[in-house]
């Protein structure tokens, strides 16, 4: 997988491209690419490497959000 310091590339594929090249698309995902799947020009799904997906889910969990808000309030009180 690519370095976490590098921003992940974002690729857009339509459903037909995904169906015909799923191995290639998944290979890109393993290499750190993020894929937006479109249907009729509209985004319908995102494919992420599992570690990226877990990070995304954890970062939006209620407890994590509460912790970030508490930390922000504490930082705002610092001189």
Q: Per-residue pLDDT tens for 2-30?
A: 445 565 789 999 999 999 999 999 999 99
Domains of the chain, earliest start first? 10-77 (3.40.1620.10)
Q: Per-residue pLDDT tens for 19-78?
A: 999 999 999 999 989 999 999 999 999 999 988 888 888 877 888 788 888 888 888 888
Please state the pTM of the whole predicted model.
0.65
The answer to whether residues 48 and 56 touch, using CB atoms and an 8 Å cutoff, is yes
Q: Token pair of 29, please?
A: 């995902």
The Cα 43–Cα 28 span in angstroms is 18
The Cα 40–Cα 64 span in angstroms is 36
């Amino acid at each position: 997988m690519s370095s976490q310091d590098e921003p992940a590339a974002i690729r857009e594929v339509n459903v037909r491209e995904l169906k015909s090249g799923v191995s290639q698309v998944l290979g890109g995902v393993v290499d750190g690419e993020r894929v937006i799947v479109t249907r009729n020009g509209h985004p319908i799904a995102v494919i992420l490497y599992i570690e990226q997906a877990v990070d995304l889910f954890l970062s939006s969990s209620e407890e994590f959000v509460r912790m970030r808000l508490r930390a922000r309030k504490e930082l705002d009180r610092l001189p």
